[in-house]
Structure 1
């Protein structure tokens, strides 16, 4: 008879889980044994810190649309997962977290690692339970998977170490065996017809329509492109939606907000109607002022409709299906001057960006190296960034092309996410080249995880923007508050040498005339590579 841990792992396999990110520990020995004996069906990816396991599970869910799974031992192993799991919660990524516990009869006795992780996870998880025995696991393992996928959030199972190895126990008379299917059911998420008609009327009536697209539109690229063409609408992209349409698309005006373009702000200020597709971009001040533009929003989650901007027509449904139905009701705009003017503005913005990207100043300007890095990325690349000044550099100075993917910690905006995200991309899509732009502050937090990239032979090119400064925080202290920067300087780390120490390859570049040669060598190298770019600490 299978034990509790074996039932768990077999259920995950039945739910098409093919990889688990985690770190072994004595609180999960039973689960690790179940994974060892099923290596031909499910892969365990060993990380160097549980926070990275949660980030990788979240990123895996974002990259693939499938369930991400992470595993940690009892006590501190479980608490280390929390930051990555909050990333999943805030960005609506389906993730299952599995944690161990102390022996079941020593819970709440002040024993070693006596942390009630179900209580700790109450806020982050939409499904959260302690598994009592094997019969209970038969019921809740599949339910945890279903809940994470249905709610697009975090599920959590915590299992005492001795319970993991217990064989199927006598079940209660009402708990019939095999009464739950290990399958996922989902409807086609069609919007309300009356709201659809209202949305079409609003968009057809307005002469200047702008579109804001987010991660929820990633699977609706063709439909979104058609909508933009019918409405002659310029498109601004939220950061998580950077890969929705290529940056060189004639309707794309760049990102929105502090990381975006001036053109995107102009279209928000001038539009008469705003169509929001799969985004709840959090900075309300960058939307049209209330009362200025009529609002239409498409989102799978009714709770998100009208969250940032007054909405008259709320279309609760799948973005691709909803846009297809909406397009059937839209009339092609004859006056395309709003789009034409936006395109001219974008040309001026791009010229200004090009000037920053071509400067030969010393110290080296980060825009130059980031632009050169992005230009070398092949068409099927995966790109991750971290949180900080490096995010702005990736958002503004790397043009995403058709076929490329991008991800980052969005609403949580956590540092130390970039490297785990990149590794997860390499695990999810073997053979695709992987790239990341990170800062020296975030990189230092999970530096050891580069050895995970080496261990699993991830084809990673990692650009570290090294200014020995928490640059974005220093800038905010000075520009937002008018204070001198304080406590933002960082002790220098030789990241190129660290790469070599972990079995990878390291390069360093300090001067503009060396950028092309160093990047050419780094991109030609096999295996994980760190490119350390030593840049001007005061460049914003």
Structure 2
């Protein structure tokens, strides 16, 4: 007998899925049993069971980000499904195709306030691009196929709910009958190219620009060559959104890395002075860093039409995927002969990289310089490495110091910016690319959430990996430091230790307890050796880096409001005033020295020197 569960498992395999991240429970029990039966028969899915349903959903999202495939997660009814929601919002807000399979109590329990029975369709209605309950076997094929198609086309999570009794019902091929849909497990093409007249119009706008800037996001993944060729012809400077970091190699001289609070000064200057802005696969959310209204003619290329023209008043919106659209656009672009704009970006990046190195080499009396940790990591990244960062100051240092070369990957929770994602992201990357070196960078606050638990998952599954090298670096400063700085700079509030303190834990000792290599870093002089040891270890290494909480994540352009709020917060008896003032002063002095050096050597114009 073939059950609904048997069919769903086979159908998702037909959709190209080979791995599911799941956590069992009685509401999904029949389906879980069918997974076990398929595994014993040798034709099942690889079933990865981490320690929490939220981790399952974050792993599925990370799988989609790193592979371009649909990520699949699974959980039991109400409590399991509710736990997954945060990870599904990560997929929604970063436009990733994920399918979640959620159990439910039996059909007769619907609407009766039974044990673990709730209105799951209503619960998931905001996060999901498609959510449907399978109430009869004849419906299963169409629901599964529609969920996968919706996830791929609408770039978001879809949810399939299967009541417990339906999971075990016998299923046959859908009949040719009224009310019964017979569907196919065929993915629609998303290689969409806009109409020729729009392509020609876009080329005209770019050709007319003298100071063209490309803003490149994760939606341009897979279009590296097209982005570089279009930028070459347009004489464009390139900025990447934080999630687009892997799209443009760091050794491209006119790539000024990220924009905004964790961005570079050259990217700030590009936005401040460009006359043409081309947004490629990005929904960059910080509009205050984009050009002034009316300053630049703007074009946006994206597969999410509802997000076009949303952050900046664009002149032309091209509904298409970046690779196909640029391939159509390139033949219409005229090669610029004046490359002074592009050269200016490249020169400024030399100055900026000198500044970042100077900042990284500063020493502080109250802990290791966290910048040093990332600076030394960046120098040692092996080919095809994968780096994950968490929400918080790890994202600042990742943006400022990590330079991904061609073939490397890196990612984090973007628009949702949820804490703890760096760990499930790293583990999911390891499952997808078990031959690669994976490095997780995470703060101690996030690590204490659910990250520590995932060392258990790693121990459970590491023998499956071709290359078991996985490095976890914990910034150990006993503080929710990103929030501490936001309290000061955004709200002029002093740090409130009751909310901000993170209990100190021997993270290296926890790793050693599980049989891994633990390294404690308590001095700047220890950082390089720690990374050397980690990369020489064929196994799991945790670097417990005791870093300063007072090193300021300085933006490239300090506004009056930023400075004023910070000063007011410190005057309100911030408990770390002395450390913050001392460490910020050192950083600012170093920053000023490097910018003066750069101006003297590179020959900025008077406006640049004043800025």
Q: Aligning the two structures, in what range does the TM-score lie when normalised by the shorter sequence? A: over 0.9
The TM-score, its normalising length taken from structure 2, stands at: 0.86
Partner residue, 2:329:
326
Q: Is 2:266 the counterpart of 1:263?
A: yes
- Per the alignment, in what secondary structure is the counterpart of residue 492 of structure 1? coil
User: Structure 1 CA distance, aligned partners of 2:48 and 2:89?
Assistant: 21
Give the one of 435, 440, 443 matched to 1:436: 440
| Shift in CA distance, 455/379, structure 1 to aligned 2, threshold 3 Å | same
Give the one of 397, 401, 405 matched to 2:405: 401
Partner residue, 1:134:
137
Give the one of 109, 113, 129 matched to 2:112: 109
Mapped contact 1:297–1:306 kept (Cα < 8 A):
yes
User: Structure 1 CA distance, aligned partners of 2:131 and 2:490?
Assistant: 40
Give the one of 184, 201, 226 matched to 2:229: 226
Partner residue, 2:13:
13
Give the one of 461, 474, 488 matched to 1:456: 461
Aligned-pair CA distance for 1:177 = 7.7
Q: Is 2:65 the counterpart of 1:62?
A: yes
Q: How does 1:271-350 map to 2 (within 5 A)?
A: 271-350=274-353
User: Structure 1 CA distance, aligned partners of 2:32 and 2:490?
Assistant: 49
Q: How does 1:509-528 map to 2 (within 5 A)?
A: 509-528=521-540
Mapped contact 2:61–2:96 kept (Cα < 8 A):
yes
Q: Which moved more, 1:348-357 or 1:132-141?
A: 132-141
Deviation track 1:399-424 (CA, whole Å, cap 9, x = no partner) reads 11111011111110100100000111
Mapped contact 1:451–1:503 kept (Cα < 8 A):
no
Mapped contact 1:228–1:251 kept (Cα < 8 A):
no
Partner residue, 1:534:
546
Give the one of 502, 507, 516 matched to 1:495: 507
User: Structure 1 CA distance, aligned partners of 2:515 and 2:107?
Assistant: 42
Q: How does 1:37-56 map to 2 (within 5 A)?
A: 37-39=37-39, 40-41=42-43, 42-56=45-59
Deviation track 1:104-128 (CA, whole Å, cap 9, x = no partner) reads 2122222221222211101001110
Q: Is 2:33 the counterpart of 1:33?
A: yes
User: Structure 2 CA distance, aligned partners of 1:6 and 1:302?
Assistant: 37
Mapped contact 2:78–2:116 kept (Cα < 8 A):
yes
User: Structure 2 CA distance, aligned partners of 1:85 and 1:74?
Assistant: 15
Mapped contact 1:238–1:281 kept (Cα < 8 A):
yes
Give the one of 190, 215, 219 matched to 1:216: 219
Q: Which moved more, 1:478-487 or 1:438-447?
A: 478-487
Q: How does 1:109-188 map to 2 (within 5 A)?
A: 109-168=112-171, 174=177, 179-186=182-189, 188=191
Partner residue, 2:565:
none
Q: How does 1:476-491 map to 2 (within 5 A)?
A: 476-486=486-496, 487-491=499-503
The two structures, once aligned, show a CA RMSD in angstroms of: 1.6
Give the one of 364, 368, 374 matched to 1:370: 374
User: Structure 1 CA distance, aligned partners of 2:471 and 2:161?
Assistant: 36
User: Structure 1 CA distance, aligned partners of 2:159 and 2:340?
Assistant: 52
Mapped contact 2:2–2:172 kept (Cα < 8 A):
no
Give the one of 80, 96, 101 matched to 1:98: 101
- Per the alignment, in what secondary structure is the counterpart of residue 130 of structure 2? strand
Give the one of 192, 195, 219 matched to 1:192: 195
| Shift in CA distance, 179/340, structure 1 to aligned 2, threshold 3 Å | same
| Shift in CA distance, 187/494, structure 1 to aligned 2, threshold 3 Å | closer
Partner residue, 2:4:
4
- Per the alignment, in what secondary structure is the counterpart of residue 58 of structure 2? helix
User: Structure 1 CA distance, aligned partners of 2:245 and 2:100?
Assistant: 28
Aligned-pair CA distance for 1:501 = 2.5
User: Structure 1 CA distance, aligned partners of 2:387 and 2:5?
Assistant: 35
User: Structure 2 CA distance, aligned partners of 1:513 and 1:170?
Assistant: 67
Deviation track 1:384-438 (CA, whole Å, cap 9, x = no partner) reads 1110001111111111111101111111010010000011101111211111111
Segments of 5+ residues of structure 1 without an aligned counterpart are none
Aligned-pair CA distance for 1:301 = 2.2
Q: Is 2:365 the counterpart of 1:359?
A: no
Deviation track 1:75-98 (CA, whole Å, cap 9, x = no partner) reads 110000000000000111000011
Deviation track 1:232-268 (CA, whole Å, cap 9, x = no partner) reads 1110110010001111211201111111101101000
Segments of 5+ residues of structure 2 without an aligned counterpart are 463-467, 553-611
User: Structure 2 CA distance, aligned partners of 1:376 and 1:170?
Assistant: 55
Q: Is 2:384 the counterpart of 1:380?
A: yes
User: Structure 2 CA distance, aligned partners of 1:498 and 1:390?
Assistant: 21
Aligned-pair CA distance for 1:27 = 1.3
Deviation track 1:511-536 (CA, whole Å, cap 9, x = no partner) reads 01111222222222222221110001
Give the one of 421, 425, 431 matched to 1:421: 425
Q: Which moved more, 1:272-281 or 1:108-117?
A: 108-117
User: Structure 2 CA distance, aligned partners of 1:179 and 1:164?
Assistant: 19
| Shift in CA distance, 194/169, structure 1 to aligned 2, threshold 3 Å | closer
Aligned-pair CA distance for 1:163 = 1.6
Aligned-pair CA distance for 1:171 = 7.2
Deviation track 1:145-168 (CA, whole Å, cap 9, x = no partner) reads 111111111111111112211212
User: Structure 1 CA distance, aligned partners of 2:102 and 2:171?
Assistant: 20
Q: What is the number of residues matched between the two proteins?
A: 540
Mapped contact 1:234–1:339 kept (Cα < 8 A):
yes
User: Structure 2 CA distance, aligned partners of 1:123 and 1:413?
Assistant: 18
- Per the alignment, in what secondary structure is the counterpart of residue 157 of structure 1? strand
Mapped contact 1:192–1:316 kept (Cα < 8 A):
no
Mapped contact 1:453–1:460 kept (Cα < 8 A):
no
User: Structure 2 CA distance, aligned partners of 1:354 and 1:187?
Assistant: 42
User: Structure 1 CA distance, aligned partners of 2:392 and 2:338?
Assistant: 40
The TM-score, its normalising length taken from structure 1, stands at: 0.97
Aligned-pair CA distance for 1:312 = 1.0
